[in-house]
Amino acid sequence: MTTQIFIKIGYACISIAVMVAYGLLTGGVMARIRARVYGRYGAPVWQPFLDIFKNLNKRTAISHGMMFYLGPIFRFAGGLGTYLFIPAVFGSVLFANFSGAGDIFLVMYFIFFGQLGMALGAGEGGHPYSGIAIARGLAQMSAFEVPFALAVISIVVQYDTFSITEIVAAQQGGILHWTMFTNPLATIAAFIALLGMNMQSPFDIVIAPQEIPIGPPTEFPSQFLSMLQTNRGLFLVAKLILFMNLFYGGATSVWILFLKTFIIYLANLFIGVSFPRYRIEQAIKFFLKYPTIIGIIAIILMAMK
Amino acid sequence: MVNPLYMFILFLAFGFLFAILDKMGRKVTLTLFYGVLLANFIIPLYWIWGIFSGTTSGTEISTAGFMAPISINLRFGFEEIIIVLLVNFLGLLSAIYLSDKFKKSSINGMILFMVLLMSIDGLVMTRDIFNIFVFLEILSIATYSLIAIEKNRDSLSAGFKYMLAGGIASAFILIGIIFLYRFTGTLNLDDMIGKSHLLVGKAGFLSLYLFLFAILLELKPFPANGWALDVYQAVNEGLVAIIAVASSAAIFFVLYKFLPLVPSEYYGYLGGVGLVTFFFSNLIGLKQKNPNRLLGYSSIAQMGLLLATLSILKSFGSNDLIIFQIVGGLFINHFLAKAALFWLVGIVKKNDISAWTNLRTNPSLLIFLGVFILALSGLPPFPGFWAKWDFVMILASKGSYFSIIGILLASLFEITYLFRWLGFAMKKTDSTEKIDLPISKEFPIAISAIALLVFSVVTTYFFKEFSFIQILPLVGLVLMYLFGYLPVKVKGFVAIVIISTYAIKLYSLVSGLELFFAAILVVGSLVQIIATMYRSGKREGFYPFLVMMIIAIGNLVIAKTYLSFFFQWELMTIASYFLIMKGKEVTSAGLKYIIFSMGAAYFIMTGFAFAPVIPAINLSLINTIGMKHIGILSLSLLSIGFLIKIGSLGFHVWVPDTYNKADDDTTSYLSSIVSKAGIFGFFLLAVAIVKNASLDTELLLTIIGWIGVMTAIIASIMAAFQENVKKLIAYSSIGQLGYIILALSAFNHIGWLAALNLTLNHMLFKLMIFLAIAGVIMRTKTTNMYEMGGLIKKMPWSYISVLMGIIGLSGVPPLAGFGTKWMLYNALIERGWYLQAGAALFASGIAFLYLFRLIYTVFLGQAKPEHKDIKAAPLWLLIPQYIAIAVVMLISMKPILLLKPLSEMISVYIPTNLGWVGDKLITVNGYWNGSQVMNVTMIIFGIPFLWMLFITRKVQKVKQFNIVFAAERPDRPETTHFAHNMYAHYNKAMGFLVTPKLAIKFWDRVSEWISSSGATLRNFYSGNGQTYLLQIILYFIILYSIMGGK
Amino acid sequence: MILTTVLGFILIILGIWGMLTQKNLFKMVIGFSILDSGIHLVIVSLGYIKDKTAPIIDSDILANNASSQVVDPIPSALVLTAIVIGLAVTALMLTYIIQLVNTHNFDSKNMKDPLSITSYEELKW
């Protein structure tokens, strides 16, 4: 029993390490692509690794208090947990993670764990922009969760299970078994939600790279920032894997995983670089209009089957 | 036995003698006066004793040496004795109340007073219809003369209008009598009843109608009663008590005597007259501000109700015992409470009920006012409560829907104006204006209150056979009052002892679902008592009602009959109302609370009324309610009642105000405990439904489910827009309760499991949050969140408590909140309620908005300079929070400990379809291993935490303003703390859902419409005596054409 | 005797009419008196039996066959009581009027007629 647990933990560590590396690299690549689209040269693709390394070795760190200190830890734990409760590679023991602990709803709610902790940590910093950004983020989240939730419910109805593993299993046997083709409306609704979730344009006012140049990332210096940056890679991958599992047939090997998630993200980025930005209330209205209606239709279609 | 004629002799003889005896000095006459009154009170008392001891059964008295029907005869049977006893009792009390008047004014006052009482006694006892006329005229003349003793313009003009109306009435009665005599050849009532077959045709009916109408007129039917209202308003309160209560009682009794003569097909019309009067008097009373006139409306309404109950019961052919119980109950209630209220008004001497705040300076009067208003409102344990219940049950069994609606709606109006009055009296002010209170004036009031309470105990114990534990809430109330002089901490301790004892007793009585609810409600309350000790001073009146409320809620769980459930429910309502009223500026919120609560109570009452009676076996309602098939009507009514109580969408308007204005620890009770009583009610319904598989409840459940989920969504949005921290949590409560009924209405095993879990969790989380916020409010002395901020440094323990609370409420793993949300979605998907599941997810997304706002604006962000010296929350408040946190942690780490037993409780009703593999719970669609989630979370949190500790050894703590803010160094937290109008953007997007405030507008319109229709109707009462006369004549004609038109 | 009854009712209606239409307090009381008288007439007329004499037992009418010779005595007895009571009420009404006029404020500029029923409308609603 104990050995099993240690093996499991060992697997989890490997799985995490691989995914962090992949996530950071993907982030670097995407940043590069984005730069090229905008006509810049762009940073090297390993820039995220350099950033983390640099930040880890800074000599001073400041803290605003207990919750501030815990914020990045919550955030990272949230990323870790989200990833660990998803079976990453179908049929792989190494990448099965702790998916036996809970189903799709656990993952959906665990996403909030890190966000909430981070929000509280940033909140203690006392920076008004933290509060503003979080308020916007939460408002947008409450909106994009709707089409996403509807899409999830639709496929839950479709496959009659909450288990991600079983949902992936049901999509095996050819590309036409993917949810993307068997339930295209849910996929569309979820894909739009993913834009919001990844804070891609036109839904990027939450991080508002231009207007709020500082705020959480600058308030959290050195080692705190390194932890946040590490999480950024992992959390991104976790979300992409979740989508891959739910809508794009999952992955039977880690290479397919890399390929599929990369394409999903690329598609995401493709839209992200093409659109101007919504104001937050426009974003909310948008999410609660078309994607939500699409999601509802998706549910009704599945329920009628 | 003393011959009752001596009563007349005493009154008359001394009446004549007083003119002479007064020459010997007022002391002599006064002594004799009270002696006579006392003697005449003792005589019927003696007879009562005789009847109860079986030595007599009353008597018939003939006069002038002949037997009836030749002579006038008087009857002194059981009913007469009771009424005479009450009348003379009231006469004695009223005379005591008026003693200073009698000392000063002329001897005529005393003489007239005795004549008045004599005529009332005569009216009750006589069996001769002409004699009735004579006594009625003596009564009128004595009353007119007494009114005229006070030579002020108002009472004289009122008296003159009274005389005009009385003159018409006596004309009618006289014509009626002569025609009755003409057709039957007798004046003796019993003889006439024997010959009632002679009263046929239009002429026979007309003669009956004339007599009846005159009696009705004296009972002041709407709208021919403007003169009476003027009398009630203008005449001295000591005298009005007799007019409104004793005289009316005697006249009502005359009607009672006369009814056998009236063909039973007319009873319905009389009931209609009564109902119309009851309804419209209360409706018009809504606008009334003058306490005398208010009582006038209430008196008229009550007489209308008495008339209605008597005639309707007679028309149903109910047996005498039932009539005696119902009419008698209402009668006693009105008799004692109304008279005493008139006296009270005479003491306080304020012409506007909103000026009654000086009553606070005299707690005993305030208590009396409370007692009488509760009694008049038909609340337990007063006789009116039992009577109203029985009456509604009978009406329901006969299918009299309109009567039920009319009576309950009018009762609600009455409650509104009575409690508005009470609310003003309980208002906290700095007024130290003392009330001049001679003992002679307080004594009669106190005696009435005591008599009322004695009657209550008698009814409760003997007629309804309630056991000790059922009246324990009241015992608790009294017991705690005895400790009133002690400081808060001691009283809190005593309360804990009482409730613990009760909890142990309760534990031996419950099992299964009852045990679960008893634990939540009673143990949850017990823990919170510790929190109430954070206050200093005495908190007078707080603990008595707290103890009463807790025991009543506990008793709800073990109630065995509908009546007993309803009884406890009402006790809970009363107690919580008085707890709320301890708050500051709570007048309008408290009124809203009681109106909605009573509205809910009436729905519940009618729901029970239309339900089949459950078999009387010695089991609590939740075990027996499913034994008979409860119809859809009854279920719907009960649902509406419980929906109002938990403040569902549309009915939620009372919640935010009440929660906001009540004391902070009271609010915690309201949210965590009292609202759960409504949830328990829903479980009762659910059990009733599940046991009757044949009933099609699909529609009902779907509606309730949608109400639940819409409540969750709208309340969450509303919560996000609040600036006031207590209102925010109040809306959050509304929303969370929406989830519970959503889960319950899914009606599968996992749904019920979710509902039970949500109930427990909500209790724990709201307890933590409300008590933590109570500490914050206590320290910061504000409820506006934007005036707080940065409190994490000063109140870290409260912060942790709120943090746990919001994690739990939002459903973020690994705390138990996630389990409940997960079960909810399982239940909804299993049920096929996919859209509801989507909506629930939407609501829980919005919940993040307000939860973050709650914790961020209060505890995080920028601290205010004025808060730099505040201390942590008092230990008293923290203890219950941390007990709750401990429970939350336990059920989060080992959910199986809770879920397995709960699942077993539910499987009695709905068989389980859950599977357990170790700690893993497997449902039809999904699986969840709470313990493993907890373990994984602790590891993935712990490792980075240790890593962080390892690498950041040189963390520098910085000051508050050490932030980089657009090249500026902010120094004012007011401009830096992001809190006010935090979700402006969200408001722009979603505000359209909540800004119309449809529910508030709707209820405002309803109340506006009702009160303006009352205002319009009261224009009937123009003040012109001639108009009143015209109204009487028209009423006479219209009523005749309705009744005799066939 | 039917004529008397009809007359009585006419008086009753007249009386009520008077009470309803006359604003003057005294006239209203007079209306009441007429009403009362009408009632008394009705009572007496209903007790009357044609060709019978007064119900007084003396040398002309013997107690043992009185019932066949006299009118119904009860209405007569009733009417006596009613008259007394009517008198008392009327007297009381007149007293009230005096007292009411006494409370009237005669100094007031726009003084209302102290004898009009419309001057006593302060209490309403």
pLDDT in tens, B871-898: 999 999 999 999 999 999 999 999 999 9
Please give, rounded to a whole number of angstroms, the shortest distance from the CA of B779 to a CA of chain A: 20
SS3 C59: coil
More confident of the two residues C6 and B695? C6
Residue C42 with chain B: CB contacts under 8 Å? 175, 178
Report whether pLDDT(C57) > 80: no
Of B41, B42, B36, which is closest to residue B14 (Cα–Cα)? B36
- A123 in B contact zone (CB under 8 Å): yes
Distance CA A82, CA A116 (A): 13
pLDDT at A212: 46
> Which helix (H) or strand (E) covers residue A63, if one does?
strand A61-63
> Which of A142, A160, A285 lies at the smallest CB-CB distance from B848?
A142
Contacts with A, B 845-904, CB within 8 Å: 845-846, 848-849, 852-853, 855-856, 860-862
Please give, rounded to a whole number of angstroms, the shortest distance from the CA of C96 to a CA of chain B: 7
Distance CA C53, CA C55 (A): 6
Residue B892 with chain A: CB contacts under 8 Å? none
Kindly determine whether residue A145 and residue B951, on different chains, have CB atoms separated by under 8 Å. no
Q: Radius of gyration (Cα) for chain A, nearest Å?
A: 19
The C-alpha angle B333, B335, B338, rounded to 5 degrees, equals 90
Per-residue pLDDT tens for B621-670?
888 888 888 889 999 999 999 999 999 988 999 999 999 999 998 999 99
Would you state the structure tokens that stand for residue B141, as one six-digit string?
């003349």
Kindly determine whether residue B796 and residue A76, on different chains, have CB atoms separated by under 8 Å. no
Look over chain B and give the mean of its residue pLDDT values, rounded to a whole number: 91
Kindly determine whether residue B148 and residue C120, on different chains, have CB atoms separated by under 8 Å. no
Kindly determine whether residue B945 and residue A70, on different chains, have CB atoms separated by under 8 Å. yes
Distance CA B540, CA B426 (A): 13
Sign of the Cα pseudo-torsion (B467, B471, B473, B475, in order): negative
Kindly determine whether residue B164 and residue C42, on different chains, have CB atoms separated by under 8 Å. no
Distance CA B163, CA B161 (A): 5
Q: How many CB pairs below 8 A link A and B? A: 248
Kindly determine whether residue C125 and residue B179, on different chains, have CB atoms separated by under 8 Å. no
> Which helix (H) or strand (E) covers residue B955, if one does?
strand B955-957
Kindly determine whether residue C103 and residue B159, on different chains, have CB atoms separated by under 8 Å. no
Residue B922 with chain A: CB contacts under 8 Å? none
Report whether pLDDT(B528) > 90: yes
> Which of B148, B154, B288 lies at the smallest CB-CB distance from C123?
B154
Sign of the Cα pseudo-torsion (A95, A101, A104, A110, in order): negative
Residues in CB range of A81: below 8 A, 6 or more apart: A110, A113, A114, B813, B936, B937, B940
Give the residues across from B928 on adjacent strands: A102, B921
Give the residues across from B61 on adjacent strands: B74
Residue A302 with chain B: CB contacts under 8 Å? 834
Distance CA B258, CA B208 (A): 9
Average pLDDT over residues B762-787: 93
Name which of A151-160, B460-469, B699-708, B710-719 the model is least confident about.
B460-469
Chains A and C touch (3+ CB pairs under 8 A): no
Average pLDDT over residues A219-230: 85
Give the residues across from B62 on adjacent strands: B73
Report whether pLDDT(A210) > 60: no
Name which of B313-327, B671-685, B952-966 the model is least confident about.
B952-966
Report whether pLDDT(B202) > 70: yes
Contact C59, B195 (CB under 8 A): no
- Rounded-to-10 torsion of CA B315, B320, B325, B330: 50
Per-residue pLDDT tens for B921-945?
999 889 999 999 999 999 999 999 9
Please list the helix, strand and coil fractions of chain B in percent, rounded to the nearest 5, in that order: 75, 5, 20
Contact B356, B425 (CB under 8 A): yes
Delineate the domains of chain C, giving CATH numbers in brackets: 2-119 (1.10.287.3510)
pLDDT at A213: 43
Average pLDDT over residues B560-572: 93
The C-alpha angle B913, B915, B920, rounded to 5 degrees, equals 140
Residues in CB range of B48: below 8 A, 6 or more apart: B81, B82, B85
Q: How many CB pairs below 8 A link B and C? A: 126
B992 to A225, A287, B735, B995, B999: CA distances (angstroms): 39, 16, 18, 5, 14
Report whether pLDDT(A215) > 60: no
Please give, rounded to a whole number of angstroms, the shortest distance from the CA of B676 to a CA of chain A: 26
Please give, rounded to a whole number of angstroms, the shortest distance from the CA of B382 to a CA of chain A: 51
Per-residue pLDDT tens for C84-116?
999 999 999 999 999 988 887 777 666 778 888
pLDDT at B965: 64
Report whether pLDDT(C45) > 70: yes
Give the residue extent of every domain in chain B.
Answer: 466-941
Average pLDDT over residues B92-121: 92
Please give, rounded to a whole number of angstroms, the shortest distance from the CA of A218 to a CA of chain B: 8
Name which of B118-132, B604-618, B818-832 the model is least confident about.
B604-618
- Phi, psi dihedrals of residue B287, rounded to the nearest 5°: -85, -5
Chains C and B touch (3+ CB pairs under 8 A): yes
Residues shown for chain C:
125
Distance CA A82, CA A243 (A): 13
Report whether pLDDT(A234) > 90: yes
Kindly determine whether residue B849 and residue A60, on different chains, have CB atoms separated by under 8 Å. no
Kindly determine whether residue A303 and residue B834, on different chains, have CB atoms separated by under 8 Å. yes
Average pLDDT over residues B379-385: 90
Sign of the Cα pseudo-torsion (B159, B160, B162, B167, in order): positive
pLDDT at B1046: 53
Kindly determine whether residue B845 and residue A145, on different chains, have CB atoms separated by under 8 Å. yes
Residues in CB range of B25: below 8 A, 6 or more apart: none
Distance CA A127, CA A217 (A): 11
Residue C20 with chain B: CB contacts under 8 Å? 1026, 1029-1030, 1033
Per-residue pLDDT tens for B906-926?
999 999 999 998 889 999 889
Report whether pLDDT(B281) > 60: yes
Give the residues across from C53 on adjacent strands: C70
pLDDT at B47: 92
Quick one: how far is CA B73 from the chain centroid?
45
Look over chain A and give the mean of its residue pLDDT values, rounded to a whole number: 88
Cβ-based neighbour number of residue B1004 at 10 Å: 12
Contact A182, A170 (CB under 8 A): no
Best probe of the B interface among A68, A84, A109, by most B CBs < 10 A, is: A109
Of C32, C67, C51, A163, which is closest to residue B169 (Cα–Cα)? C32
pLDDT at B608: 94
Residue A143 with chain B: CB contacts under 8 Å? 845, 989
Report whether pLDDT(A170) > 60: yes
- B982 in A contact zone (CB under 8 Å): yes
Please give, rounded to a whole number of angstroms, the shortest distance from the CA of A263 to a CA of chain B: 28
Give the residue extent of every domain in chain A.
Answer: 2-304
Prior bond of B473 cis (ω within 30°): no
Confidence label for B62 from pLDDT (cuts 50, 70 and 90)? confident
Chains A and B touch (3+ CB pairs under 8 A): yes
pLDDT at B853: 93
Would you state the structure tokens that stand for residue A65, as one six-digit string?
């208090």
Kindly determine whether residue C99 and residue B179, on different chains, have CB atoms separated by under 8 Å. no
Per-residue pLDDT tens for B968-980?
677 788 878 888 8
Report whether pLDDT(B772) > 50: yes
Distance CA B667, CA B684 (A): 25
> Which of B841, B955, B989 lies at the smallest CB-CB distance from A281?
B989
Sign of the Cα pseudo-torsion (B204, B208, B214, B219, in order): negative
Per-residue pLDDT tens for B775-812?
999 999 999 999 998 899 999 999 999 999 999 999 99
pLDDT at A15: 92
Best probe of the A interface among B977, B985, B987, by most A CBs < 10 A, is: B985
Kindly determine whether residue A62 and residue B822, on different chains, have CB atoms separated by under 8 Å. no
- Phi, psi dihedrals of residue B614, rounded to the nearest 5°: -85, 150
pLDDT at A152: 94
